[in-house]
Structure 1
């Protein structure tokens, strides 16, 4: 484990991008690029007459905002590390999408890969760990471990035997193309419609989901959230509803992981980065407590993001918000 540090060391001390294994990308960002340079480097994915524009532009536009924020932050500000982590996951999302979507412009891959490598190197520098240990450190910072309830349940060998292998979990992998969630069935991509595919999961409406530490989305009904990733930490988990590929509702009701409300922000950011409209999505929580008791609450995706996942702030702004004991 890399110890937290109160002061961020100089940029001079960070590992060089050249130290990353494998051939160097076409463009190497030795320093954080300006927004103007980044836009120029990724122009093929932005041109109005490009047939690939709608496939790649939402992710690039999200990265634009992160670069603008990072260039305005001082390194000793706590926001710098948070935004840098989001930049790392966003560039990873683009690269993951590129592997599947033939419409993604190949000219954009070198600058996106270079920015991903810059983010990885800078995270290692800030966190004072090696690149080899970065994945484990990010898992500790951003990951959600299984709860005591989940660990105890999965001690039963008949349950842990149902953990999916890397190959088996691919049947649950979801890809988002042009703002539409799709899954690969019989070697064809189909829009997800949980109301048609699987209307309920136990007493839940919709299907289970996890967002992995590799920023990959898995959706389905393997009975328990731990089955997707074999019980290892994830970014968040819960239940999700899709209608013809569009996000309808999301909830953090995973008993195995029991993520905090704020973890739903990660999921909504993931969907927004991939071009989904989250403003009217129904966001729900369980185990909510305030002076009126305990129960479930819900709001819109727009309000949830504005309030940074803080339910107390949401209730102060909208006391009429639904609350069910």
Structure 2
């Protein structure tokens, strides 16, 4: 999750019930130049929406629509500050003071509206607006340990740059000029790996919580070797805004989807991708989009309308408000499976530990008219004869205990 980068002198403990006006924000970020950029215009549009809500009733509690706008405003401001930190040409760092002041207010207003401590806001944003890994992802990455997680320097190699609607990537495959930016071609990215599992002419993409797109080779790994390059590799298994497959020819996006086994985005998360691309100057009418499992592709603009129209039919499951809670659903499924495995190991350790006890030596159970020296614990473990018991005794209790401790750490991490 993004850090709460509040850099002004206000303390984060003071509450904020009303955001500054658009006029005040423009004044605090005004420069002699006329151009303010798409991202700043987007921020002002979202701020104007909140201003209208608060003009009617400053003390009103926000509903789902207003909270969605607040979250979009939060992520847009965070994105601007990230770009300013990189000294990206799309933003002017002299506006940082004004942008950061609004960001601080947004954080405080969200805290007030949700009655949530500021340090807990990342959890709320994660639960409602990002995607956690599926149980398949956790199995591949943590149980089979076949995923390679990039360090920050390696991840930077695969970060995309989108300027005036054209997608650029670094020549990460070149040892001489690996930092040179060139127009992206997804088919080339795909062909760099013989074990690529992505659709024809496509390559994998991830949209991070701070609005960065990443794309690189997508290769199956070897169990316990941590060699696989998956959607989870870029952000180290952390939640993302979307993930899937993308087709790019000479920097122009042709098609994208939500095809990711590691994250399994619901259709609503395409909104994040379409909006992020629009802010980078990519016309939503210029490329096709479909969600995983659907063969019908629409333009980005049509998909946007389609999602919004369907949202009105599903009430509390409104996908554009990210009410599907897909991350929580998958995490709960993984927790249940891991706990089942822990219970099995506990039973195995209990059986091994009881062999030397008097209960085992003296336990007699009558079965089928004959008398067998078998205690109730052995009976429940289906160890009906001495040979089965002897084989069970040979199990490595230390190895089982280590496996239990690993599962215990995984459960704690997911929680």
Give TM class, smaller chain: 0.7 to 0.9
- CA 1:303–1:122: 2 relative to 1, 3 Å: same
The aligned residue for residue 163 of structure 1 is: 149
- CA 1:251–1:171: 2 relative to 1, 3 Å: same
Give yes or no for contact 2:168–2:181 (8 Å, CA) kept in 1: yes
The aligned residue for residue 287 of structure 1 is: 293
Measured in 1, the distance between the counterparts of 2:30 and 2:281 equals 18
For residue 73 of structure 1, give the secondary structure of its aligned residue in structure 2: helix
Encode CA deviations 1:179-209: one digit per residue, 9 max, x unaligned: 4333344333333232444469534132211
Encode CA deviations 1:203-229: one digit per residue, 9 max, x unaligned: 413221111223322122243211122
- CA 1:207–1:45: 2 relative to 1, 3 Å: farther
- CA 1:120–1:176: 2 relative to 1, 3 Å: farther
1:248 aligned to 2:254? yes
For residue 259 of structure 2, give the secondary structure of its aligned residue in structure 1: coil
- CA 1:230–1:106: 2 relative to 1, 3 Å: closer
TM-score (norm 1): 0.75
Measured in 1, the distance between the counterparts of 2:266 and 2:309 equals 10
For residue 214 of structure 2, give the secondary structure of its aligned residue in structure 1: strand
RMSD (Å) for aligned C-alpha atoms: 2.9
- Tell me the CA shift for residue 46 of structure 1: 5.5
The aligned residue for residue 202 of structure 1 is: 197
The aligned residue for residue 305 of structure 1 is: 304
Instruction: Give the number of equivalent residue pairs.
Output: 277
TM-score (norm 2): 0.60
Query: What are the ranges of 5 or more consecutive residues in structure 1 without an aligned counterpart?
Result: 1-15, 22-28, 48-52, 289-295, 314-325
The aligned residue for residue 19 of structure 2 is: 32
Query: What are the ranges of 5 or more consecutive residues in structure 2 without an aligned counterpart?
Result: 1-7, 55-60, 172-177, 220-229, 313-415
- CA 1:104–1:222: 2 relative to 1, 3 Å: same
Measured in 1, the distance between the counterparts of 2:69 and 2:29 equals 20
For residue 308 of structure 1, give the secondary structure of its aligned residue in structure 2: helix
- Tell me the CA shift for residue 139 of structure 1: 1.0
Give yes or no for contact 2:285–2:301 (8 Å, CA) kept in 1: yes
Measured in 2, the distance between the counterparts of 1:189 and 1:312 equals 39
From the two aligned structures, give the one with the greater helix fraction: 2
1:19 aligned to 2:14? no
Query: Quick one: which of 70, 77, 80 aligns to 1:84?
Result: 70
Query: Quick one: which of 238, 241, 264 aligns to 1:232?
Result: 238
- Tell me the CA shift for residue 31 of structure 1: 4.0
- Tell me the CA shift for residue 255 of structure 1: 1.1
- Tell me the CA shift for residue 303 of structure 1: 0.9
Give yes or no for contact 1:45–1:105 (8 Å, CA) kept in 2: no
Encode CA deviations 1:41-90: one digit per residue, 9 max, x unaligned: 3333851xxxxx3xx51111211221122122354332111000000111
Give yes or no for contact 1:101–1:177 (8 Å, CA) kept in 2: no
- Tell me the CA shift for residue 254 of structure 1: 0.5
1:269 aligned to 2:275? yes
Measured in 1, the distance between the counterparts of 2:43 and 2:123 equals 24
1:138 aligned to 2:125? yes
Query: Quick one: which of 10, 29, 52 aligns to 1:42?
Result: 29
Measured in 1, the distance between the counterparts of 2:137 and 2:166 equals 32
Query: Quick one: which of 92, 98, 116 aligns to 1:129?
Result: 116
From the two aligned structures, give the one with the greater strand fraction: 1
- Tell me the CA shift for residue 275 of structure 1: 2.5
Which of structures 1 and 2 has the bigger CA Rg? 2
